[in-house]
Amino acid sequence: MGFLDDNGVLYFGQRIKLYITGVVSGLVPTTRKVNNKALSGDITIDADDVGLGDVKERLGELELGEYIPLSSLGAANGAAETDGNNKLLLKHMPGGVATFEVVDNYASLPPVGDPTVTYITEDTGESWKWNGSSYTKITDPVVLGETSSTAHRGDHGKIAYEHSQLKTGNPHDVTKTEVGLGNVLNAKQATDSDVGDVSGLETEAGTVVGAINELFNSAPEITAITNSEIDALFPVT
């Protein structure tokens, strides 16, 4: 084991002083402050201390568990992605949901279509689907007209239906001649209420009923004509 002489002790003291000075120079006094927080103890820095107070206000009191990890985007049981217009990407849509795209005319259809999209040509109103090699028309627009391949106007149909429900009057002004009754008189048949009670009317024979009975009683008796009577009427020589 070595020992220090007087010169060694002096040199050792100088080296210790230099070392301590170097260490102390890298420290800050406890009176130093950060955002007005003294360094005399542990300090806490929040969003306001670093100029993010507005972000804190917008986020509110969200807990860490309420954030969606980027790894969950597009993953099973994760979050669906949207496009630049904030529309849900087609790959996340159910199979029964159709996507439509309107173009000016047939010439404006994409050279290679998307089989998941139904294209509509605005000039004709027709719908088209891409079958992998060409476009197939899947619907025809409704065309108004009066032929077997066109649709008739709805307002006309409404008028015709309402007219068919008329059950009184003569909406078509049909005449008796048009239905084969031209020779029929426009006379009303008398009813009992029109004639009234005639049983008590007085006549020379008493009552009307009595007169009718007398007429039948006074009529000569009608008998059958015999063969001899016929021969007498039409003699044959």
Q: Which helix (H) or strand (E) holds 154?
A: helix 154-164
- In 3-state terms, the chain is what percent helix, strand and coil (to 5)? 35, 15, 50
- 10-residue averages of pLDDT along the chain (237 residues): 63 74 69 73 72 62 64 81 78 70 92 88 89 88 78 85 83 82 75 62 56 63 62 59
Q: Which pair of tokens denotes residue 59?
A: 């986020």
Spatial CB neighbours of 122, under 8 Å, sequence gap ≥ 6: 102, 103, 104, 105
Spatial CB neighbours of 116, under 8 Å, sequence gap ≥ 6: 90, 99
Distance separating alpha carbons of residues 195 and 201, to the nearest angstrom: 12
The listed CATH number (2.40.40, 3.30.530, 1.10.3470, 3.40.1620) that belongs to domain 95-162? 3.40.1620
Give 49-118 as a 3 state SS string.
HHCCHHHHHHHCCCCHHHCCCHHHECCCCCECCECCCCCECHHHCCCCCCEEEEECCHHHCCCCCCCCEE
211 class by beta-carbon count within 10 Å (0-12 exposed, 13-18 middle, 19+ buried):
middle
Q: What is the pLDDT of residue 98?
A: 67
Per-domain residue ranges for the chain? Answer: 95-162
Q: What is the pLDDT of residue 186?
A: 76
* Closest by CA position to 127, among listed 117, 116, 137, 115: 137
* Closest by CA position to 210, among listed 199, 220, 221, 218: 199
Q: Model pTM?
A: 0.29
Using the structure block, give the residue that is written with the tokens 């015709």. 160
106 class by beta-carbon count within 10 Å (0-12 exposed, 13-18 middle, 19+ buried):
middle
